[in-house]
């Protein structure tokens, strides 16, 4: 490659790579990460099967979606980072245009506009943004030496605010938070000065009352109030939170046993196959199950962070780090919400919750991570 | 390049790596917090929460709200809720299920599909839960079951409300229909509002006014025993019924419009030009919303979707047709206002038009031409040559600007989902969609509403209302509530320097119907009021230069579309209509009489 942005060859490394595993050399996959993802998905299937009361059809369609996700991951892993980087601004542009299109002409339903109707399939452009925004920022910030200068930072903040605002007004608070975090993650990794981070934090806190008054729908405000005090409306909005916690707590250390959760099977847990599936796991598999899930998530994130650390150019580093962080935030928000640490935000539990295009996006992100890792030391020859 | 070499690569790597280290610490802290919280619940709170889970007695069940009615302008019910009965079985109360099913079979004829669905539902439910066997029972069956009740222990007949459309196919595209909410719609809305059993509007008014119609779910607090069996209802937060929605539509005029179209595919739109109220919005072919509402079987739905005539498609707001000659009054108006033509000057039409340096010859629909015609006569006789010249003088930019001001190429903003905007071509449009520059020949075609131009019937009717109002636009409106009219039209009022310009457009349209050489003169013969109209005949396929259009040899799918727009009575317009008949042949023969039927019916029914 003639692109000098990419680091120079290290002959020793190249030799070492040649002896790497088959998965990495031929399929461009990361064996460890693939293994962890598969284990996690398997655990998810187990929990889902119980949450669906032993029905097989939803499990089949879930498997199908998993298959599509893993396939997409494999395809994306074949695209080397130096081809990915120049695509970033285009992908971002297309994503932003589609978001704008959703606001203007998007399918209208129940007060929220999120879908773009592309003939047969509905498509949520916000999903694309989850990957396109960090790519765009990594590309942008990799143009200049790190740490990012004040000008670069300001420009980057602009790039973050645009899509986040468009998703926020759809309104889709959960996704807006995720996309915003993915963007902020890139900035953070790019070494933005701590005092700037503190200043931004203060600014956000100051803006919170404004968001409360102008930026939120009634039902969203209600959720926050209910989070602060679930007993405020124990049979209404607080019901879900209370029942989820009863489910978790009554699971104890060893759980009530697979398929034996009373809270889950008597329909006390709301949204038990989607956003609240963590409660089913905690009830049936107990603290041990939670520890296993947390370990799997932890290892997946640790491996992703390691890939970021080992990446050989700024674009790859920033992007890999941001993808790892997004996944981390995803898991944390969902588990935090179900465990009663955070207000209810409509986000699924990654690789476990039923359905949703979000799983496919997540796996696409892991495809990028694997590409970054498996294409090390090959470029700028 | 030198800059690249000067970059402190190691230093930059350190920047990111140190931040990654920070992230790792945060990861440990956050996961620690989650583990701590779960551990606290599962160890410290274990006893207490286990106790709560064991005597978890109060379960919440959603109670559906009664959906609002849809009424026409006279208060006739277009969509209502009818009690329907479903048959359910509680397995644990049945000693011998096979015997019961065969007994029931003798009475209500259980199909294989029902049997299979029941068996499947039974396998995944608890034995005390009611499992539906059939959702819609006929009334005789309900009576018979009531008499034979003692023979069927464990069988329950449950009342519920089902959506019903008393007028059936009439107005089906406008009213729409409801169906079981799907996962996608569920995720779009407020999850607290919708629960598994809810119905939601799928198309038409049912969909557009869903928030008004739907009301708010109630909640029932049901006491259960430790196994989850319901013992008693403790408390009830009653549902809030949805609001009724009254429409401006007149269902009898709607029926007439649909029946007038008959077996043709096409659309008729009738508006009150004074306020934009939609009087009729017909689209043929139609469908029966009653077969779609509340659980349609997959085969019927597939058949409807696969039907090449697209009965589910609302042609009146989403069908896009070349408007043909009905654009002529608009272009004549624009060219007069901009000074491209003097409406009183005549042009000699010999039936052909040529451009310098272009080998193609443009022909009039009348091979021998119309002779000397001024603007009024060119509109009345629909002379193509006059408008080829006009288009050539005006150019595509001015035509695009003016036709957009009349509302072409953009949605009218009618209160229905899935309205299409049509196409009013421009240089920019062509570059963006086809990646090609604009050619002069295309300007000529645009002058008679052919070429790339596409318009929906609702646009044609709305723009006709604009002419009837002499520049005052309206927004087509189905909701018969004055406050919703405050939305306002999507286009600006058109103010012309000389008020008399409007009269030229009017004169052409009046002459069309009442003039001795007007294309729709046969219509004027026995009218007892004065009507202004414009015929249009739009080509579906390009006819080669020297070929004649011959209906006999052409497949019916390629016959011309017939169009007609009109408003009446001329001294105080109370109705504006647009008729589009797919492959109907000529506008004057097919579409104009249909418009007349609708206009006459409406005017005879309303006085002033």
The full DSSP string for A35-102 is HHHHHHHHHHHHHHHHHTTT-SHHHHHHHHHHHHHHHHHHHHHTS-HHHHHHHHHHHHHHHHHHHHHH
Asked if the model's pLDDT at residue B169 lies above 50, the reply is yes
Asked if the model's pLDDT at residue B536 lies above 90, the reply is yes
More confident residue, B126 or B51: B51
Asked if the model's pLDDT at residue A358 lies above 50, the reply is yes
Asked if the model's pLDDT at residue A343 lies above 70, the reply is yes
pLDDT digits (tens, 9 = 90+) for B78-113: 999 888 888 888 887 787 888 888 888 888 878 777
The share of chain B scoring above pLDDT 90, in percent, equals: 45
The β-bridge partners of B159 are: B85
Distance CA B113, CA B299 (A): 13
The band of B184, judged by pLDDT with boundaries at 50, 70 and 90, is: low
The band of A175, judged by pLDDT with boundaries at 50, 70 and 90, is: confident
Distance CA B233, CA B254 (A): 47
Asked if the model's pLDDT at residue A287 lies above 60, the reply is yes
pLDDT at position B545, please? 47
| Contact partners, residue B47, CB within 8 Å, separation at least 6 | none
What does the pLDDT average to over A281-290?
A: 94
pLDDT at position B6, please? 63
Asked if the model's pLDDT at residue A254 lies above 80, the reply is yes
Cβ contacts of B181-186, under 8 Å, gap ≥ 24: B183/A355, B184/A115, B184/A122, B185/A109, B185/A110
- Name the active-site residue from B325, B382, B463, B588: B325
Give the count of alpha carbons within 13 A of B81, CB side only: 17
The band of A212, judged by pLDDT with boundaries at 50, 70 and 90, is: confident
Distance CA B319, CA B557 (A): 16
Q: What is the ipTM of this complex?
A: 0.88
Asked if the model's pLDDT at residue A201 lies above 70, the reply is yes
Binary contact (A250, B43; C-beta < 8 A)? no
Binary contact (A219, B192; C-beta < 8 A)? yes
The β-bridge partners of B84 are: B160
pLDDT at position B486, please? 58
Measured at the CA of B284, the angle between CA B282 and CA B288, to 5 degrees, comes to 90
Q: What is the rounded radius of gyration, in angstroms, for the C-alpha atoms of chain A?
A: 21
Distance CA B379, CA B519 (A): 9
pLDDT at position A111, please? 40
Cα distances (angstroms) measured from residue B212 to each of A187, B123, B209, B246, B485 = 44, 39, 5, 11, 16
Report chain A residues whose CB lies below 8 A from the CB of B234: none
Binary contact (A146, B15; C-beta < 8 A)? yes
Secondary structure of residue B565 in the 3-state scheme: strand
Torsion over CA: B130, B133, B139, B145 (sign): negative
CATH topology of domain B251-299+317-605: Beta-lactamase (3.40.710)
Task: Kindly identify which residue of chain B lies nearest to residue A292, measuring between CA atoms.
Answer: B35
Q: Are B124 and A265 in contact (CB under 8 A)?
A: no
pLDDT at position A215, please? 67
What does the pLDDT average to over A147-174?
A: 86
Which of A250, A301, A346 is closest, CB to CB, to B49? A250
- What the block records as the tokens of A179 is 């996309």
Task: Kindly identify which residue of chain A lies nearest to residue B413, measuring between CA atoms.
Answer: A105
Q: Are B289 and B172 in contact (CB under 8 A)?
A: yes
* Same topology between domain B84-159 and domain B251-299+317-605: no
CATH number of B59-76+167-247: 3.90.1310.10
Q: What is the DSSP string of A325-347?
A: HHHHHHHHHHHHHHTTSS-----
CA distance to partner chain A, nearest, from residue B491 (Å):
17
Report chain A residues whose CB lies below 8 A from the CB of B14: none
Phi, psi of B561, deg, nearest 5: -85, 140
Q: In terms of DSSP bridges, do strands B70-71 and B245-246 run parallel, antiparallel, or are they unpaired?
A: parallel
Lowest mean pLDDT among A23-37, A61-75, A291-305, B393-407: A23-37
Cα distances (angstroms) measured from residue B289 to each of B73, B164, B206, B294, B296 = 20, 8, 11, 10, 10
Distance CA B312, CA B287 (A): 6
Distance CA A369, CA A138 (A): 13
Asked if the model's pLDDT at residue A133 lies above 60, the reply is yes
More confident residue, B415 or B481: B415
Interface subset of A 121-140, CB within 8 angstroms of B? 122
Concerning whether B325 is annotated as a catalytic residue, the answer is: yes
CATH topology of domain B84-159: Ribosomal Protein L30; Chain: A, (3.30.1390)
The band of B220, judged by pLDDT with boundaries at 50, 70 and 90, is: confident
More confident residue, A15 or B501: B501
Q: If you average pLDDT over every residue of chain B, what do you get? A: 84
pLDDT at position A228, please? 72
Would you kindly state where each structural domain of chain B is located, as residue ranges? 59-76+167-247, 84-159, 251-299+317-605
Distance CA B49, CA A339 (A): 13
Asked if the model's pLDDT at residue A6 lies above 50, the reply is no
Q: Which helix (H) or strand (E) holds B236?
A: strand B230-237
pLDDT at position A248, please? 92
More confident residue, B294 or B26: B26
pLDDT digits (tens, 9 = 90+) for A45-61: 999 999 887 888 888 88
Q: In a mutagenesis test of the B interface, which of A59, A105, A110, A284 is the best target, namely the one with the most B β-carbons within 10 Å? A: A110
What does the pLDDT average to over B544-565?
A: 71
């Amino acid at each position: 490659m003639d692109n000098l942005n990419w680091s120079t060859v290290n002959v020793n490394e190249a030799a070492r790579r040649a002896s790497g595993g088959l998965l990495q050399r031929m399929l461009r996959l990361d064996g460890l990460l693939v293994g962890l993802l598969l284990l996690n998905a398997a655990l998810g299937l187990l929990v889902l099967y119980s949450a669906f009361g032993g029905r097989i059809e939803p499990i089949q369609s879930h498997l199908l979606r998993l298959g599509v996700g893993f396939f997409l991951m494999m395809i994306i892993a074949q695209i080397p980072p130096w081809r990915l980087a120049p695509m970033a601004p285009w992908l971002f542009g297309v994503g932003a245009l589609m978001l704008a299109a959703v606001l203007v002409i998007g399918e209208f339903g129940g007060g929220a506009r999120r879908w773009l109707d592309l003939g047969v399939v509905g498509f949520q452009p916000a999903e694309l943004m989850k990957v396109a925004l960090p790519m765009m920022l990594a590309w942008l910030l990799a143009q200049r030496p790190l740490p990012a200068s004040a000008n670069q930072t300001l420009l980057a903040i602009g790039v973050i605010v645009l899509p986040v605002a468009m998703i926020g007004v759809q309104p889709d608070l959960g996704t807006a938070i995720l996309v915003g975090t993915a963007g902020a993650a890139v900035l953070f990794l790019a070494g933005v000065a701590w005092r700037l981070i503190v200043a931004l934090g203060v600014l956000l806190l100051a803006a919170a009352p404004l968001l409360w008054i102008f930026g939120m729908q009634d039902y969203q405000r209600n959720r926050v109030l209910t989070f602060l005090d679930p007993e405020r409306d124990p049979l209404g909005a607080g019901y879900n939170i209370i029942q989820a916690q009863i489910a978790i707590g009554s699971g104890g250390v060893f759980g009530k046993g697979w398929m034996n959760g009373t809270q889950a099977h008597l329909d006390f847990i709301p949204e038990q196959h989607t956003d609240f599936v963590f409660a089913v796991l905690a009830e049936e598999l107990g603290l041990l199950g939670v520890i296993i899930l947390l370990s799997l998530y932890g290892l997946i994130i640790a491996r992703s962070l390691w890939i970021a650390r080992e990446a050989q150019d700024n674009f790859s580093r920033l992007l890999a780090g941001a993808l790892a962080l997004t996944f981390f935030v995803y898991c944390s928000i969902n588990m935090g919400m179900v465990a009663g640490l955070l207000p209810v935000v409509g986000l699924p539990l990654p690789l476990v919750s039923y359905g949703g295009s979000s799983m496919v996006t997540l796996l696409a992100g892991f495809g990028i991570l694997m590409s970054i890792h498996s294409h090390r030391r090959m470029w700028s020859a | 390049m030198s800059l690249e070499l000067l970059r402190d690569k190691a230093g930059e790597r350190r920047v990111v790596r140190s931040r990654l280290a920070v992230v790792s610490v945060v990861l440990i802290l956050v996961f620690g917090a989650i583990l701590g919280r779960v551990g606290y619940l599962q160890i410290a709170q274990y006893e207490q929460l286990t106790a709560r889970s064991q005597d978890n007695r109060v379960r919440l069940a959603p109670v559906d709200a009664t959906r609002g009615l849809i009424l026409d302008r006279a208060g006739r019910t277009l969509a209502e809720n009818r009690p329907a009965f479903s048959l359910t079985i509680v397995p644990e109360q049945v000693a011998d299920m096979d015997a019961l099913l065969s007994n029931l079979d003798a009475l209500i004829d259980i199909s294989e599909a029902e049997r299979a669905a029941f068996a499947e539902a039974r396998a995944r439910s608890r034995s005390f839960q009611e499992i539906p066997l059939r959702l819609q029972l006929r009334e005789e069956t309900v009576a018979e079951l009531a008499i034979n009740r003692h023979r069927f222990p464990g069988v329950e007949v449950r009342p519920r409300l089902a959506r019903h459309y008393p007028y059936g196919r009439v107005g089906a595209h406008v009213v729409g229909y409801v169906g079981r909410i799907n996962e996608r719609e569920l995720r779009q809305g407020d999850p607290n509002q919708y629960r598994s059993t809810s119905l939601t509007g799928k198309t038409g008014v049912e969909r557009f006014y869903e928030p008004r119609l739907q009301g708010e779910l109630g909640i029932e607090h049901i006491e259960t025993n430790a196994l989850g069996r319901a013992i008693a209802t403790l408390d009830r937060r009653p549902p809030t019924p949805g609001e009724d929605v009254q429409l401006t539509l007149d269902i009898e005029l709607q029926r007439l419009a649909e029946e007038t179209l008959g077996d043709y595919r096409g659309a008729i739109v009738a508006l009150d030009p004074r306020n934009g109220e939609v009087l009729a919005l017909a689209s043929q072919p139609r469908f029966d919303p009653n077969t779609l509402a509340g659980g349609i079987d997959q085969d019927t739905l597939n058949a409807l979707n696969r039907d090449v005539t697209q009965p589910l498609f609302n042609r009146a707001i989403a069908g896009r047709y070349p408007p043909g000659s009905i654009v002529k009054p608009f272009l004549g108006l624009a060219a007069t206002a901009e000074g491209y033509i003097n409406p009183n000057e005549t042009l000699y039409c010999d039936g052909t038009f040529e451009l310098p340096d272009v080998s193609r010859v443009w022909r009039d629909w009348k091979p021998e031409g119309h002779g000397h015609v001024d603007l009024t006569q060119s509109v009345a006789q629909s002379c193509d040559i006059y408008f080829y010249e006009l288009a050539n003088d005006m150019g595509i930019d001015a035509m695009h600007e003016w036709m957009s001001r009349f509302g072409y190429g953009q949605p009218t903003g009618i209160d229905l989902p899935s309205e299409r905007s049509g196409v009013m071509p421009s240089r920019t449009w062509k570059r963006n969609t086809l990646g090609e520059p604009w050619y002069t020949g295309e300007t000529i075609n645009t002058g008679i509403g052919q070429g790339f131009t596409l318009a929906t019937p609702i646009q044609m009717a709305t723009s006709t209302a604009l002419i009837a109002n002499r520049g005052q636009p309206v927004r087509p409106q189905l909701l018969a509530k004055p406050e919703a009219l405050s939305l306002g039209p999507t286009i600006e009022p058109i103010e012309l320097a000389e008020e008399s310009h409007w009269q030229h457009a009017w004169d052409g349209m009046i002459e069309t119907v009442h003039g001795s050489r007007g294309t729709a003169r046969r219509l004027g013969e026995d009218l007892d009021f004065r009507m202004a109209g414009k015929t249009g005949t739009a080509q579906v396929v390009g006819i080669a230069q020297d070929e004649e259009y011959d209906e006999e040899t052409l497949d019916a799918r390629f016959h011309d579309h017939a169009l007609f727009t009109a408003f009446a009575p001329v001294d105080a317009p109370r109705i504006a209509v647009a008729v589009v008949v797919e492959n109907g042949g000529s506008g004057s023969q097919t579409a104009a009489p249909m418009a007349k039927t609708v206009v006459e019916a409406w005017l005879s029914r309303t006085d002033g």
